[in-house]
Amino acid sequence: MALYVAAAMHDYDHPGRTNAFLVATSAPQAVLYNDRSVLENHHAASAWNLFMSHPEYNFLVNLDHVEFKRFRFLVIEAILATDLKKHFDFLAEFNAKVGDDPSTGIDWSNENDRLLVCQMCIKLADINGPPAGDEESSLGLPVSPFMDRAAPQLAKLQESFITHIVGPLCNSYDSASLVPGRWVEPDPEEEEHENVESEEGEDDESTCSEASQKAAPKKRRRVFCHITQHLVENHEMWKKVIEEENKKNDQAAESVHLNNVAEPILAIDEEEEESGSREEQVEGEHPEEEVEDPDWCQREDCKPPGEPEDRDPQ
């Protein structure tokens, strides 16, 4: 019941901004909660304030004081666990509980262990965050990763989020056999191969102490879960999208490079430039001389200068 209520409350009155943004801009919520799990504290406090302000909707009226106090504690702890800043701390603690060591494991009679499972469960259901890139840009703040509207990176965001956040969290939950699914029957060939290896190991360690000669603990049974299967397929799909986008970007960059290739600019020495200008000046003087000498071409019987005149044969 506490987990259901926490799931309903965990994002109540969300301002659409991250904790980092609220702290960087000294938002009222950040000042109120001393920059610590700002959004999570705000969600819990606002939701409880709404719930307590309408007694007619109080479905916890039958709980006594101790039960209500415990219920409220569980709800608040579950909501505060959704702060991603503490994500890896929860993951490390949970992994220590669900390792292959048979001496460890979840003690369902322990209240702290049950609370940890609830916190991991709501984290799996949460893992979401609204963008604030537009306002960050308008305020002159660095735009958060994957929040730049001008350069959307949906595929990279999904792939990175699955790789670093969702995947490890889901694997840990799967290792604890807490995911819904069905048991996977072991492969007889794999079991036979493992038995052969274990027998060879026992022969090699015949001189070891009795403690080391004890059989190794059996591996946990595998569980097939549609959720984890879809997660794997989703991850592979986004990886393919990234590969296709990279190919398109490379082709576009190559075409732009080819279009912008220009002929090399040759350096011109001062001597060559001066000689070239003199040649142009000399070539420009010839037509002027021809135009300014019209005497010999104005008469019908004129001859070009230097050409001998025709003599009468008589």
Question: Residue length, the chain?
Answer: 314
What is the C-alpha to C-alpha distance for residues 146 and 151, in angstroms, rounded to an integer?
8
SS3 label, residue 224: strand
What is the C-alpha to C-alpha distance for residues 85 and 94, in angstroms, rounded to an integer?
16
The annotation status of 83 as a binding-site residue, yes or no, is no
SS3 label, residue 223: strand
What is the C-alpha to C-alpha distance for residues 174 and 228, in angstroms, rounded to an integer?
8
The annotation status of 10 as a binding-site residue, yes or no, is yes
Which whole-number Å values give the CA distances from 60 to 7, 57, 68, 80, 244, in the listed order? 16, 9, 7, 21, 53
What is the C-alpha to C-alpha distance for residues 129 and 135, in angstroms, rounded to an integer?
15
What is the C-alpha to C-alpha distance for residues 244 and 147, in angstroms, rounded to an integer?
21
Query: What does residue 311 show for φ and ψ, rounded to 5 degrees?
Result: -100, 150
Which whole-number Å values give the CA distances from 41 to 6, 19, 177, in the listed order? 12, 11, 31
The annotation status of 126 as a binding-site residue, yes or no, is yes
Extract the tokens encoding 262.
């220009």
Residue ranges at the known binding site: 10-11, 126
Residue ranges at the known binding site for Zn(2+): 10-11, 126
